[in-house]
Amino acid sequence: MPDWLTSILLGVIEGITEFLPVSSTGHLLVPQQLGWLEKQTDLFNIAIQSGAVIAVLFNFTDRVKQLTLRWREPEARDYLAVSAGCSSTSLASSYRKMCCRWRWRCSSAVCCLS
């Protein structure tokens, strides 16, 4: 199958599953692991997911503006607190993976997140 067709199919899978309460990453990897589509690099998967995140930001532009302009209101602070918590957990997990990949010593707090 041509690379461009594989890219389109994976883009459609990502686009559909991004708005569903399921793992869009998992749905990208399943057809690749089963051999239905060619395996893509991690960079490709990151790029296609970044495109989906940017599309979501454009789709919810008004909500993002509300959060940034009304950050002192309790409802907005709740969303921002959840976002900060998710971001910090994601960064800690990435740090842990990087440490383990290069066999560096991980701090015990970060290793507990695995």
By the 8 A CB rule, do 82 and 88 touch? no
- Per residue in 27-68, pLDDT (tens digit) is 888 888 888 888 888 888 888 888 877 877 888 888 878 878
User: What pTM value is reported for the model?
Assistant: 0.50
58-66, long-range: CB within 8 Å, 24+ apart, which pairs? Answer: none
